[in-house]
Amino acid sequence: MNPVRVVVVDDQELVVTGLRALVAKDGDIAVVAVAGDGRQGVSAVRQHVPDVVLMDLRMPVLDGVAALREIRAEPRLDPVHVVVLTTFDDDADVLEALRAGASGFLLKDVAPEELRRAVRRASAGEHVVAPSVLGRLFSTFTDQVVPRRPELLQRLTEREVDVLRLVGVGLSNDEIGAELGLSPATARTYVSRLLAKLRAGDRARLVVLSYESGLVRPGEGRV
């Protein structure tokens, strides 16, 4: 099996060194490039087209959100999953990163194994969000930004509603299958149907829609 290919973008050399060592520890993840600001990061992503980018939010020259927007604007980079890393537990930054197309985000003090698990999940198209910020993020998002849209659920079958709820609280496809008595392949099929029916560009958008519809409420989410 080919290793998950990662680009690390952060302006702090010690952080880059640490991340590089941590993610490569088990041998199934390889750092193919590092960059010290968002502009260099976008260039590295264009050159290597990695599976996953670990991106700091606050950097010189071009910040993480702006870099995300540039990456998401290029169709050939659609397969690239960007996980934002930040020391700032800030709702505004988190919301902007999600809107810009982040596949998820983690705080920089994340445990090593959780970081590696997040990289693997992101490479598989799973949405990754730090447990400490998920509830507050969607509390802000639901109550202050996005109107309730319960009519979204009318488009779905009962089973699709079940799957959307589990996506919304952060379960992986395997976990969804186990919870509902489905094979992982069937769970993936249901998630694909949801993406099409709800016109969601990615799994992150499904998480947002689960809250928009009122199906999942603040405080219910987890990684």
pLDDT digits (tens, 9 = 90+) for 187-218: 999 999 998 898 776 676 787 788 778 887 76
12 lies in the same domain as 119: yes
Tens-digit pLDDT profile for residues 61-72: 999 999 999 999
End residue of a domain, out of 129, 160, 192: 129
20, 102: one domain: yes
Residues 152 and 123 in one domain: no
Does 206 lie in the same domain as 96?
no
| 119 shares a domain with 145 | no
CATH of the domain at 197: 1.10.10.10
Considering the domain architecture, whether residues 16 and 125 belong to the same structural domain is answered as yes
- State whether 103 and 44 are in the same domain: yes
Q: Which residue has better confidence, 157 or 212?
A: 157
pLDDT at position 49, please?
97
Same domain, yes or no: 118 and 165: no
With a cut of 80, say whether residue 143 has pLDDT above it. no
Query: CA-CA distances (angstroms) from residue 16 to 7, 115, 155, 184?
Result: 10, 13, 45, 34
**C-beta separation of 180 from 100 below 8 A:** no
- Identify the band that residue 55 occupies on the pLDDT scale cut at 50, 70 and 90: very high
The mean pLDDT of the chain is: 83
Q: 94: closest CA among 132, 126, 124?
A: 132
pLDDT of residue 223: 40
Same domain, 43 and 111: yes
- What's the number of domains the chain is made of? 2
Residue 21 lies in a domain: yes
Report pLDDT digits (tens) over 167-188. 888 788 889 999 999 998 999 9
Note the pLDDT tens digit of each residue in 82-140.
999 877 666 667 777 877 788 888 888 888 888 888 888 889 887 777 655 655 666 66
Question: What CATH number is given to the structural domain containing 8?
Answer: 3.40.50.2300
Domain housing 31: 4-129
- Are the CB atoms for 64 and 35 separated by under 8 Å? no
Residues 162 and 121 in one domain: no
Q: Cα separation of 114 and 99, whole Å?
A: 24
> Does the residue 148 lie in any domain?
yes
Domain final position from 74, 95, 129: 129
